[in-house]
Amino acid sequence: MPRPGSSPYPGLSIEEKEENFSRIANRHPCFSGSAALNRGRVHLPVSPACNIRCRFCKRSFNKTEERPGVSAALLKPAEAAALAGRALELCPEITVAGIAGPGDTLATGHALETFRLIHQEYPALINCLSTNGLLLERRAADLVQAGVKTITVTMNAVDPAVLEKICSHVVLDGLVYTGRAGAALLIEAQKRGIEKAARLGALIKVNAVLIPSINGEHIRAIARAAAEHGAALINIIPLIPQFEMADLPRPGCEELSRARSAAEEWLPVFRHCRHCRADACGVLGQRDLSALLYGGRRFAETFSHG
Let me know if 4 is exposed, middle or buried by CB neighbors in 10 A (0-12, 13-18, 19+).
Answer: exposed
Of 273, 275, 277, 288, the C-alpha closest to 90 is 288
| pLDDT (0 to 100) of residue 7 | 47
141-164 pLDDT, tens digit each = 999 999 999 999 999 999 999 999
Is 60 exceeded by the pLDDT of residue 11?
no
Is 70 exceeded by the pLDDT of residue 79?
yes
The chain-wide mean pLDDT, for the chain, equals 86
pLDDT grade for 9, boundaries at 50, 70 and 90: very low
At 203, the amino acid letter reads L
At 135, the amino acid letter reads L
Of 74, 43, 1, the C-alpha closest to 274 is 43
118-140 pLDDT, tens digit each = 999 999 999 999 999 999 999 99
Question: What percent of the chain is modeled with pLDDT above 70?
Answer: 80
Q: How far apart are CA 30 and CA 283, in angstroms?
A: 11
100-112 pLDDT, tens digit each = 888 999 999 999 9
| pLDDT (0 to 100) of residue 2 | 45
| pLDDT (0 to 100) of residue 299 | 47
Task: Choose between 25 and 196: higher pLDDT.
Answer: 196
| pLDDT (0 to 100) of residue 57 | 86
Does the domain at residues 14-294 carry the CATH identifier 3.40.190.10? no
173-189 pLDDT, tens digit each = 999 999 999 999 999 99
Q: How far apart are CA 306 and CA 247, in angstroms?
A: 26
Alpha-carbon distance values, 9 to 17, 66, 121, 174, 225 (Å): 6, 33, 30, 32, 12
Query: How crowded is residue 176: how many other Cβ atoms within 10 Å of its Cβ?
Result: 12
pLDDT grade for 66, boundaries at 50, 70 and 90: low
| pLDDT (0 to 100) of residue 88 | 93
| pLDDT (0 to 100) of residue 70 | 66
Asked if residues 269 and 260 have their Cβ atoms less than 8 Å apart, the reply is: yes
Residue 45 DSSP code: -
| pLDDT (0 to 100) of residue 100 | 87
At 7, the amino acid letter reads S
Extents of the domains making up the chain = 14-294
Mean pLDDT computed over 278-295: 77
pLDDT grade for 4, boundaries at 50, 70 and 90: very low
15-63 pLDDT, tens digit each = 666 666 677 777 776 776 655 566 788 889 999 899 999 999 887 655 6
283 sits in which H/E element: strand 281-283
Mean pLDDT computed over 195-207: 95
The angle that helices 136-145 and 179-199 make with each other, rounded to 10 degrees, is 30
Give the alpha-carbon dihedral of 137, 138, 142, 147, to 10 degrees.
-30
